[in-house]
Amino acid sequence: MALNIEGLLNAVVSHAMASGHYERVNQHEPENPPGHGLTCSVWADRITALRSSGLDSVTALVVFNVRTQSPMFDPPDAIDPTMVAAVDALCTAYAGDFELGGLVRAVDLLGAHGQPLDVRAGYLQQDGTKYRVMDIALPCIVNDIWTEAP
């Protein structure tokens, strides 16, 4: 048993790529400005063992950060509607693909194990450019990823 991080990242990223909202999708938090248009970046934020684990294996909550990022553009009134439409498409996809193709027990939409699906908006200054960002906390319950030894 092991955490299939490659499979999980690919599943989360594939929804962003299929949405049609993004010019680029990264599997990392970018260190450099991503350019023009909407960018989606996905990375693992934290991994927490859950009390719902079995007697000989550990189930974990794996939380991904899914960031939608855009440089500020004109007209400013169009920024949030554009970003919310993209984030809404992702949340719809994650709710609809509740098990991420069978890779997880569930996307923990309502926070049964702490962190619910959550979207937070803000701003980010990167290399002198101001960006509007919306970060999705995407909690995934993954069964039996570590074996407990006696």
Provide the residue ranges of all domains of the chain, joining segments of one domain with +: 5-147
Query: What integer best gives the mean pLDDT of the chain?
Result: 93
Cα 35 to Cα 32: distance, rounded to the nearest angstrom: 9
Query: According to the 3-state scheme, what is the secondary structure of 34-68?
Result: CCCCCEEEEEEEEEEECCCCCCCEEEEEEEEEEEE
Torsion of CA 120, 69, 139, 62, to 10 degrees: -130
Angle at 149 (CA atoms; ends 147, 150), nearest 5 degrees: 150
Which residue from 136, 138, 131 is spatially nearest to 32, judged by alpha carbons?
A: 131
Q: What is the arithmetic mean of pLDDT over 14-27? A: 96
Domain 5-147 is classified in which CATH homologous superfamily? Answer: Phage minor tail protein U (3.30.70.1700)
- Cα→Cα distances 82→13, 18, 27, 93, Å: 19, 16, 22, 17
pLDDT digits (tens, 9 = 90+) for 68-125: 999 887 788 999 999 999 999 999 999 999 999 999 999 999 999 998 999 999 999 9
Q: What is the DSSP letter of 74?
A: S
Q: What is the arithmetic mean of pLDDT over 47-65? A: 90
Angle at 66 (CA atoms; ends 82, 92), nearest 5 degrees: 60
